[in-house]
Structure 1
Amino acid sequence: MTDVRDLLARVSAPEGSGRPIHDAATGEVIGNAPESGVDVLDDAVARARAAQPAWEALGHDRRIEYLLAAADAVDAHAEELARLLSREQGKPLNGPNARFEVGACSAWLRSSASVALEPQVLVNDGDTRAELHYRAVGVVGAIGPWNWPLMIGIWQLAPALRMGDTVVVKPSEYTPLSVLALIDVLNEVLPEDVLLAVSGGRDVGARLASHPDIDKVMFTGSTATGRRIIESSAGNLARLTLELGGNDAGIVLPGTDATAIAQDLFWGAFINTGQTCAALKRLYVHDSVYDDVVEALAEVARTTPMGNGLDEENVLGPLQNKQQFDIVNRLVEDAKSRGARIVTGGSPARELGELFYPITLVADIEDDAPLVEEEQFGPALPIIRYTDVEDAIQKANRLDVGLGGSVWANSRDEARAVASRIQAGTVWINSHGGLHPLVPFGGVKSSGYGLEFGVEGLKAVAVPQVING
């Protein structure tokens, strides 16, 4: 294990250069991110292109060994990575946060190494034998987000490496240092130029999406940026996997035990202080249990500590950046102006720091309020009362998003019947947002397309080939 300062020194720009990166909780400068241009990106893509044939030629067994060694390297540096992530992104060390995220990195590396992808025999009738194989797509461009920068980065790069692709990573401008540190750790064991990272501005991301030598683009982020990536990739016909905005709906059915679901409901909405694509962002609750659910959530909110992520007691942190803070503040102020009831929170927690916003439960709000219709991506949850389940399903489906959804009920059979009618890539029952490395994940409608994880995730970073004869 190295010291966090040693890890930072390995990835930061030289003194006097680069762009300062601030601690999300305190505002202190923690390091300087390299600010590379498109010339550096072009060089990285060329190097990845040159390294790709030899990497693919190693075969699955040898690449699996490298992925397992990479997982061991992450484990060896887990605490330094978690502490850097906590400072840069803002999420606390404990709870489902920084240490959890770093642990997920090694878990997903191991899962990508363990998944079997065997040739599929399509026809074997004595006259014809046809098999479906999957081979490397080539060079993958991975454009990551700032909310789960390490974990989502691994989701993109691990299956690509497993399939014989080389990868060029472009970190978010908000959280570059922790991603560069992760790539540095992985490259302790990986062959040269198989995995490269280029830290820079939007011009670098745009060039990566449109680069003629990029065969596949993986992007997690906003729908607006996803649309621009689609346009940029038209020239090179790069394959795409896009995990875009959510605004996930949850429906609590009549008679549900509010106390039994309160903790899972709370973390479904407020994991990473609400800064999660597949977090619960609008909650429809039947009138018969509405007051009970609101109060049960309020009790959890009142007893869940928020503050500096390096404090071992805290499990909720700040918003990562001022732009997101301003969005949350604007939407809550609008809800107040419309007469919605603020149950907890409702105004910035300046006593904790500039980017802290408390858990804000907003009750008695109309379904057409901006806090419901826009993805808040932060610690504010609108709770909408309904009396007819059909109406709740219609409201859950009315927006042009479909990443995730959830149904909450005492009866799983009743919940499944409703879940089958929710327009979302994943619908959870009595939970929200939980992911498994072997269970495919992806969105519908404007929440993107393509699948990640498991066998389907491996196929997504490969090209099919039929061998006939």
Structure 2
Amino acid sequence: MYRFDNYINGIPADISASFQVFNPSTTEIAGHAPKADTTILEQAVAAAHAAFPVWSAIEDQQRQQYCQAIATKLEEHHQELATILTSEQGKPMQGTGSMFEVGGAIAWTQYTASLEMPVEVLQDDETGKVEMHRKPIGVIGSITPWNWPLMIAVWHIIPAIRSGNTVVCKPSPLTPLSTLRMIELMNEVLPAGVVNSITGGDELGAAMSAHEQIGKIVFTGSIETGKKVMSSSAETLKRLTLELGGNDAGIVLPDSDPTEIAPGLFWGAFLNNGQTCAALKRLYVHESIYSKVCTALAEFASTVTVGDGFHQDSELGPIQNRMQFNKVNQLVKDSVNQGGKLLTGGPVSDNNTLFFPVTLIATSNPNDPLVREEQFGPALPIIPYSDINDAIAAANDNPTGLGGSVWSTDINAAKNIAFRMECGSVWINKHGAIQPNAPFGGIKSSGIGVEFGKEGLLANTNIQVVFS
């Protein structure tokens, strides 16, 4: 059973209260996390605020070296972090599970550490010189979700400190353990106060977004919570990066081979058991190959093993928590009740489990709840279309705009359709394949700002123009 501390100003915080963290595979207690209150939050913010002047003033190359040292430290504890992660999140150790996530966190750290932030000369002539400098904001508040807790914490923390900021990170109370351990490891190589952790209830997130000494909030989570973060940040005019929910659409053109694309479609939809913001969540298939795609997907799904994340043959784990399980289950029930044809999978009547079978539903109802709402779980609606313009219109007829995909052997035709899709990222013949050098973010209700790459790094800075 795991028990980790909050780290504030480089040392464990003295917090007597704690809360339980559960293993979703077994529903047994995985560990305990400190239950901090707003008094402890004030200590964390004060530590980050005090550390900022020195951290922001050190040589840029030295901050690069610190970030590389973090990557090395995480690599040394790769297996340990993955084991903690599976214990609290449920995802399998192997495949695209916990070892994959920790590896991704290391890769993102290494890439972000390598980025440069040179002074940009806008003008240099007989009338004068104009330079654009990038300066750190101050204290960054990071609020992370339960689906990819380590990877997303790294996405928040590393660009922030690489660009000279200090951080207070609040992980989800559903999956705090691996993040607490990771920040403990970071504090073994960083100066005191640069990265601080705080765990507890939702009131801490609200206090962070309203806090006068936090200059920016980076939040990954639901649209409704993102709106609350934005609202409570308004009084202090905080900078914001919000990566919110998505209801990503995929469009399959009639020239596609159903058998060839089935694995890519499946893992685009069911990576991390569908608990991914940029997962494929609605699939539009041309009517000429619709039945073949449905059959190919169902056949592929039958080969995938769902089970405890510590079982060697498990490829998908449970839904992480009861609230999300109930939401997915209800959407599947509603879809079937409104005419959706169950090809494989749920709904589930057992209230004693968080395991949900891979579920595929054939539906032609545009108002099907499983089509209209983000399920964030292992259920995929498959919708036929006859006219590509109708498919594009249906894909765009949603308040979200995170990602999308087009599937075709004609890359140029696929790109032309991609340009018409209203979303921040579009993939051709794959879905959700994010990478550290490519900016990632949503439009419409899917968020504000971008992460990753140079653009994501610079989002943690303010511009100062110097005229001389």
TM-score greater than 0.5 by the shorter chain: yes
Q: Write the distance in 2 (CA, Å) between the matches of 1:333 and 1:451.
A: 35
Q: Write the distance in 1 (CA, Å) between the matches of 2:313 and 2:350.
A: 19
Query: Match of 1:116, SS?
Result: coil
Query: Match of 2:107, SS?
Result: helix
Aligned residue in 1 for 2:434: 435
Aligned residue in 1 for 2:172: 172
Q: Is the 8 A contact 2:15 2:35 kept in 1?
A: no
Q: Deviations over 1:205-240 (max 9, x none)?
A: 000011000001000001100100111001111100
Query: Match of 2:236, SS?
Result: coil
Deviation at 1:292, TM superposition (A): 1.2
Query: Match of 1:331, SS?
Result: helix
Q: Is the 8 A contact 2:92 2:311 kept in 1?
A: yes
Q: Which amino acid aligns with 1:223?
A: I
Q: Is the 8 A contact 2:331 2:370 kept in 1?
A: yes
Q: Write the distance in 2 (CA, Å) between the matches of 1:195 and 1:15.
A: 18
Between 369-378 and 119-128, the greater mean CA deviation after superposition: 119-128
Q: Write the distance in 2 (CA, Å) between the matches of 1:427 and 1:338.
A: 30
**Structure 2 unaligned blocks of 5 or more:** 7-12
Are 1:278 and 2:260 an aligned pair? Answer: no
Q: Is the 8 A contact 2:4 2:34 kept in 1?
A: no
Are 1:147 and 2:164 an aligned pair? Answer: no
Q: Write the distance in 1 (CA, Å) between the matches of 2:277 and 2:74.
A: 24
Aligned residue in 1 for 2:406: 407
Deviation at 1:11, TM superposition (A): 3.4
Q: Write the distance in 1 (CA, Å) between the matches of 2:350 and 2:187.
A: 40
Deviation at 1:15, TM superposition (A): 11
Q: Deviations over 1:88-147 (max 9, x none)?
A: 011101111110000111111111110122222212232121111101111000000100
Q: Which amino acid aligns with 2:360?
A: L
Are 1:268 and 2:275 an aligned pair? Answer: no
Q: Which amino acid aligns with 2:153?
A: G
Q: Which amino acid aligns with 2:369?
A: P
Q: Write the distance in 2 (CA, Å) between the matches of 1:441 and 1:34.
A: 32
Q: Is the 8 A contact 1:349 1:358 kept in 2?
A: no
Q: Deviations over 1:61-80 (max 9, x none)?
A: 11111111100110111111
Q: Is the 8 A contact 1:349 1:356 kept in 2?
A: no
Deviation at 1:364, TM superposition (A): 2.8
Aligned residue in 2 for 1:389: 388
Q: Write the distance in 1 (CA, Å) between the matches of 2:363 and 2:85.
A: 37
Q: Write the distance in 2 (CA, Å) between the matches of 1:236 and 1:27.
A: 41
Q: Is the 8 A contact 1:35 1:199 kept in 2?
A: yes
Query: Match of 2:31, SS?
Result: strand
Q: Is the 8 A contact 2:342 2:359 kept in 1?
A: yes
Q: Is the 8 A contact 1:255 1:288 kept in 2?
A: no
Q: Write the distance in 1 (CA, Å) between the matches of 2:219 and 2:72.
A: 26
Q: Write the distance in 2 (CA, Å) between the matches of 1:288 and 1:14.
A: 64
Q: Which amino acid aligns with 1:36?
A: A
Are 1:50 and 2:44 an aligned pair? Answer: no
Across the aligned residues of Structure 1 and Structure 2, the Cα RMSD in angstroms comes to 1.5
Q: Is the 8 A contact 2:24 2:89 kept in 1?
A: yes
Q: Write the distance in 1 (CA, Å) between the matches of 2:349 and 2:280.
A: 22
Deviation at 1:50, TM superposition (A): 0.3
Q: Is the 8 A contact 1:285 1:386 kept in 2?
A: yes
Pairs within 5 Å for 1:249-260: 249-260=249-260
Q: Is the 8 A contact 1:403 1:426 kept in 2?
A: yes
Q: Write the distance in 2 (CA, Å) between the matches of 1:405 and 1:150.
A: 24
Query: Match of 1:288, SS?
Result: coil
Aligned residue in 2 for 1:182: 182
Pairs within 5 Å for 1:31-430: 31-348=31-348, 350=350, 354-430=353-429
Q: Deviations over 1:372-423 (max 9, x none)?
A: 0010000000000100000000000011110000001111011000000000
Q: Write the distance in 2 (CA, Å) between the matches of 1:16 and 1:426.
A: 45
Query: Match of 1:407, SS?
Result: strand
Q: Which amino acid aligns with 2:379?
A: A
Q: Write the distance in 2 (CA, Å) between the matches of 1:196 and 1:434.
A: 30
Q: Which amino acid aligns with 2:82?
A: A
**Structure 1 unaligned blocks of 5 or more:** none
Deviation at 1:347, TM superposition (A): 2.5
Q: Which amino acid aligns with 1:103?
A: G
Deviation at 1:165, TM superposition (A): 0.2
Deviation at 1:268, TM superposition (A): 0.5
- May I ask how many residue pairs the two structures share in their alignment? 462
Q: Which amino acid aligns with 1:410?
A: T
Deviation at 1:17, TM superposition (A): 4.2
Aligned residue in 2 for 1:11: 5
Q: Which runs of 4+ in 1 moved over 4 A?
A: 12-17
TM-score (norm 1): 0.96
Query: Match of 2:30, SS?
Result: strand
Q: Is the 8 A contact 2:450 2:456 kept in 1?
A: yes
Q: Write the distance in 2 (CA, Å) between the matches of 1:181 and 1:112.
A: 21
TM-score (norm 2): 0.96
Q: Write the distance in 1 (CA, Å) between the matches of 2:82 and 2:179.
A: 11
Q: Write the distance in 2 (CA, Å) between the matches of 1:172 and 1:328.
A: 20
Aligned residue in 2 for 1:461: 460
Are 1:446 and 2:441 an aligned pair? Answer: no
Deviation at 1:10, TM superposition (A): 3.8
Q: Write the distance in 2 (CA, Å) between the matches of 1:359 and 1:438.
A: 32
Structure 1 pair 301–206 and aligned structure 2 pair: CA distance change class (3 A): same
Deviation at 1:350, TM superposition (A): 5.0
Identity over the aligned pairs, expressed in percent?
Answer: 49
Structure 1 pair 16–42 and aligned structure 2 pair: CA distance change class (3 A): closer
Between 123-132 and 160-169, the greater mean CA deviation after superposition: 123-132
Q: Is the 8 A contact 1:17 1:32 kept in 2?
A: no
Q: Which amino acid aligns with 1:134?
A: R
Between 323-332 and 104-113, the greater mean CA deviation after superposition: 104-113
Q: Is the 8 A contact 2:150 2:178 kept in 1?
A: yes
Q: Is the 8 A contact 2:86 2:92 kept in 1?
A: yes
Deviation at 1:18, TM superposition (A): 1.0
